[in-house]
Homo-oligomer: A and B are copies of this chain.
């Protein structure tokens, strides 16, 4: 743990993250890792030393966002109408996933693949959402045969569709509320 080398390494790490934030904003989740290293003014090997996989880099970059989403789910547990709380949260998930091009896909892959460097963050967010869904189901306002994975897949699928739609301005919100209406438990 020598001081000088650590400071250097940390500075490179920060430069890489700043460059990654820029390039992911410009070119999405698939931004060239070489470009990121280049913009950071650092060798490509240094990028790989700090972030062994693209997912590990995204994890560090997006960790805060997932935390916010997780915290939001927790605080929405206290809101009065369970099904509204779930709908609100799904809308925020979709909006969050629309932050960067390709992010819906990255999250979806991370949820399906435990080896992904993004898995932990995404799975944490998913369980937080799961509690929100459970509450809505126990309140009798959402069908009991729906899983949190399905409902998240739906929200991300809509975010994905909106991302490559021409007139998609409010598509996500409309489709989500429409779908929530369809998910209502009508006691069959």
Contact = CB atoms under 8 A, between A and B. Distances in A.
A57 interface: no
Contacts of A154: 158, 161, 175
Interface in A133-188: 147, 149-150, 153-154, 156-158, 160-162, 164-168, 171, 174-175, 177-183
**How many copies of this chain does the complex contain?**
2
A150 B171 contact: yes
A183 B175 CA distance: 9
A165 B157 CA distance: 11
Given A112-B164, A149-B165, A157-B158, 7 more contacts: A108-B165, A109-B164, A112-B166, A157-B161, A178-B182, A179-B182, A180-B182
